Amino acid sequence: MRLPITGIGAVASIGRDADEIFRNLCAGQGGLGPMRGFDHDLYTGTQLFEIDDRPEPGVDRTLRATGFLLDAVGQAARDAGLGDDLSDCPVLVGTGLRELRSAELWWRDGVSFGPERLHFGTALRERFGTPDTHTFSNACSASLYALALGADMLALGEADTVIVAGVDSITESMFGLADRVQPEPPGALRTLDVNRKGTILGDGAAAVVLRREDLPPSDGALWGMLRGVGMTCDAKHPTAPDQKYVAEAIRQAHAHAGTKPADVDLLMLHGTGTPLNDLVEASAYAEVFGPDAGVPVVTGIKPMTGHTSGSAGVLSLVTALQVMATGKVPPLIGLEQPIEEAAGLRLVRGQEAEHQVSLAQVHGFGFGGINAVAIVEAP
């Protein structure tokens, strides 16, 4: 399978479009800051990777996630030359938290909100005219799960073009429950570092446009080709990951793509910075790659974007495509002493690296033990 990716779009704490985000990633500029929408007095931790779009500090509003999604999808559609009429184009959205933040504000403060906006179809129909939209609430691997389903739609001939997106804005319930069990909140998100203290949430959205491979070239860009996506479920623990099925997702991705670990030039980590995720992820990777574990360069975006939950997978994919286009690889900032399990890896540290990438592997793992891994190829 070689599905052309003809458009990209993204928003995050470090940029309002895909270009600005990538510039900041390469410059090592993270988006962590004092939290803007939640009351500092109610929490132990007070820093998040938020998109700064609230009316004033301390005042929150509904439908922020919806806005991020519309921005990212609009960017990707324009980049692909599709314009603003997507009436024939299915849009698949992966999200961890849907518009639950708006529901929280509705219940707590009595602001106006209805069930028709818990999912994103209503806003997508209003803005882009498409009735064929799908909101999948698949935790932190949601957008890569959506990517697999979008690719399958094209392979089954159910559509010519599909937009796959991911989005999340931080909910107080998710942040609060994490805060409850972190007496010392992490001062930074430090993927793979021995002194990592946990993850920090972020706002974000990202989107890509996928086309069937048997169609003539489109008017849009050509960022790369999707080769395959693997999906598994640990079926073991609601929150803790299981190395066996993380490794199986990696193997499945390569089986779908018809590639092998030694072909991979770039690994985009899930890399949440929690003690368990990073350990399991590095171990599963080593298990599958064996002697080839030192071949790809390895990086991740979360130390600079935060953990953007359901959008994280496609945001990492967009970054991988930008690496392929530019030969620049953003660094894992804050990584001082890698864990033993990552010792033999070509970690990009300190500052951006120059590296030509023709095949990249992108990880996304989520609560509920749901794992997805994508393989993408340069044009």
Partner 1 sequence: MSIFVTGVGVALPGADTAAALAAAVSPVGSVDPAAVLGKKGLRYKDRATQLGLVAGLRVLTDAGLWRDGVLNVDGNRVAVLVSSNLGNVDTACRVARTIADEGTRGLSPMDTPNASSNIIASEVAIRFGLHGPNLMVCNGPGSGLDALRWGAALLRSGRADQAVVIGVEPDNEIVRELVGGPVADGGAALVLERSEAAEARGATVHAEIGGHVRVAGPAAGYERLAAGEPAPLTGWFASGAAAEVLPAELPGHDLSAIWGELSGALGLVQAAAAIGGFAAGARGPVCLVAGSDDDDGSAALVLRPPAPAAPRPAAV
Read off the DSSP letter of residue 201.
B
Collapsed DSSP state (helix, strand, coil) of residue 301: coil
The token pair that represents 31 in the structure block: 């988006």
Cα–Cα separations (whole angstroms), residue 1 to 113, 223, 377 = 42, 16, 11
Among 6, 13, 135, 169, binds partner 1 (CB under 8 A): 135
| 365 touches partner 1 (CB under 8 A) | no
Whichever of 71 and 172 has its CB closer to partner 1, that residue is 172
C-beta closer to partner 1: residue 42 or 343: 42
Q: By C-alpha distance, which of 3, 1, 2, 24 is closest to 315?
A: 24
From the list 50, 54, 72, 75, the residue with the least C-alpha distance to 63 is 54
159 belongs to the binding site for partner 1 (CB under 8 A): no
Which helix (DSSP H) or strand (DSSP E) does residue 95 occupy?
strand 91-95
Q: How far is the CB of 105 from partner 1 (least distance, A)?
A: 8
**How buried is 110 (Cβ within 10 angstroms: 0-12 exposed, 13-18 middle, 19+ buried)?**
exposed
Q: What is the spatial distance between Cα 321 and Cα 327, in angstroms, rounded to a whole number?
A: 10
- Minimum distance between the CB of residue 243 and partner 1, rounded to whole angstroms? 14
- Of the pair 234, 377, the CB lying nearest partner 1 is at 234
Asked if 125 interacts with partner 1 (CB under 8 A), we say yes
186 part of the interface to partner 1, by CB under 8 A: no
Site string for partner 1, 191-230 (x = CB under 8 A): ----------------------------------------
Return the H-helix or E-strand segment holding 138: none
Kindly state whether residue 110 participates in binding partner 1, applying the rule CB under 8 A.
no
How far is C-alpha 180 from the chain's CA centre? 25
Strand ranges, E, within 187-290? 204-211, 224-233, 266-268
Q: Which stretch binds partner 1 (CB under 8 A): 5-13, 237-245, 326-334, 350-358?
A: 237-245
Binding window for partner 1 (CB under 8 A); candidates: 21-29, 70-78, 232-240, 321-329: 232-240
Q: By the 8 A CB rule, do 243 and 283 touch?
A: yes
String of contacts with partner 1 for each residue 44-83, x by CB under 8 A: x---------------------------------------
- Of 104 and 265, nearer to partner 1 (C-beta) is 104
Which residues partner with 371 through β-bridges? 232, 365
* Closer by beta carbon to partner 1, 174 or else 194: 174
Q: Report helix angle 312-326 to 142-155, nearest 10.
A: 70
What residues make contact with partner 1 under the rule CB under 8 A?
39, 41-44, 96-98, 100, 103-108, 114-116, 118-119, 121-122, 124-125, 131-139, 145, 148-149, 152-153, 155-156, 158, 171-174, 176-181, 231-239, 245, 248, 366-370
